[in-house]
Structure 1
Amino acid sequence: MVRKTVYAPHYDFFIDQSKKTDVYNMDFFHMHKKYEIYYLLEGSRKYFIDDSIYLVNAGSLVLIDADSVHKTANMGDVPHSRIVINFSSSFIEDFSDELKAMNLTSIFKTKFTVLPLSFKYKLIIENILFKLVEIGSDDIELGAKATAEDETLPNAYKKTLLKLQLSELLIMIKEYLEILQQKEYESHQIVNNKVDKIIKYISAHYTEDLTLTSIAEQFYISPFYLSKIFKKSTNLSIIEYINSLRIRNAKELLESSSTKIADIAELVGFSSSSHFSRTFKLVTGLSPQQYKKYYSTK
């Protein structure tokens, strides 16, 4: 289904195609338990994924693993258009034992993140993507809890077609990855050595009481300069990145432990549970209570 949102936690699959003619930056980091395929049809974008920054040009695919922190940002004032797909592993694995055996989601576990497509694979993959957009354009609901009685027969057909097309897309990407591996290709990151060190420092200390001043002191620079170079390289604020790491840790604790939400907020570095709850919902689309209900194994 084509939707205005870029993430819908209640659905096993959705696809969104959009074109931005003005400067557009995502307002905040987000992360989710779905795999994401991002294809840039036109323009250039800066893509922040976990602790790396990538330049993405038209004709490139971006593969984002489940639970990865990510955000896109503009490159100057260049218009861009893109297609985004989110899906759960069960969406295709429950469809066929043969597909499950192929382990198609392994494409998200490699060192290849940004894939500039060759002419041949660009034609093949764009054709599949446009078919997926066309099939999903009637806004059918593919919720994880849907039953056979909930679906009309035409929607059941469309759901099967979406699974077939998505499976074909993943197979073609897997085939292309094997070609890139033979060529020893590596995804090119945008590198700023100072910012890279700052990111690694924050990644190691985000549960502590970090401030712009305390981080700046670690690198013998002013808070103003720290804020400036970090924002220039990532299109992010320092606090936004810190909070994204805290939320990722909180998600893991909500899933795998019986720790109280207020205690989790403190453990991951938030000064108050109310601030934690607001930030968590902003990043994930769910409140901590809702998230625990959906995903907790405890």
Structure 2
Amino acid sequence: MKNRTKVLWTEKAEFPIGWGIKKHSHDYYHLFYIVEGNGSFIIHEQVFDAKPDLCYIIPPGVPHELEKVKDNTLISYEIKFLIHDEDIVKHLNLETPQFVGDEFFRSIIPSIVANGRSKDSYYIRNTDAFLCSLLVHIANKNDVEEAPNSELIDTAGFHKITIKAIDFIEQQYMKRIYLDDVADHVGYNRNYLCSLFKKDTDITIIDYLNYVRIRKACEYIVYSDIDMNRICYRVGFTNPNHFNRTFKKFVGLPPTVFSKLHPFDINDDNDSVDSTLNKQLLTIPEALKTLNQTNE
């Protein structure tokens, strides 16, 4: 399988007073992460301060230069690389090439630089994984607000309000949440929200909340050693009897019976609940049906 990125060259570079980089461009990406000192980058005719914990990614074909260092030695990690994954390119908005570093930058960039020129396939794969993680991290930092989505169902074709409500439920299901909480989060009247949600999904908001809670309960039963009462409270139920009734409604059998039918088996590749729960769920009706299939 082709790597998603390719590191071409790495270095921990030092620029003493009077040194710089002449204006140039190239056919690959160029990353600078400033470790010490101060200076000035000119990227596409725009001036940027070069100072510790700032990261710059210059896209292919963009003219850039480092003005001659004036005050003290500038130290920077440099990574020159290609991106073969169109999804990374799409999400990596480099209209503004400057990013503020954080603990993730400080831990992962030195590793990429240290191993990026290795010819050993093990280190090549690891460096590719590290670089991909860094680029995804940068893409996420660049988003003012992460787009809501669902980890359980395909929301294609749903109204953005419905998607926002689904995302809220999936993030907050373990708490005591009510219709008004969901309505306040999406910023719309609860009656309008309920109508829109039912139109998109063909079920009510409360039914979806209960589906998410039971779906999560199934995961806890399969993957953890938490007792049933704790699972009940952890997924948002306040009453074990209500949890048991709701579980049986969605799965078709009580949680205690489900746990005996589906002990986790690392060697089971065919008929495990894991393969059932984690298959791609195309619609909410299919998602609900999938839970019931776990008792077969």
Bigger RCO (CA 8 Å, 6+ sep): 1
Determine if the TM-score, normalized by the shorter chain, exceeds 0.5. Answer: no
Q: Which has the larger radius of gyration?
A: 2
Structure whose residues are more often helix by fraction:
1
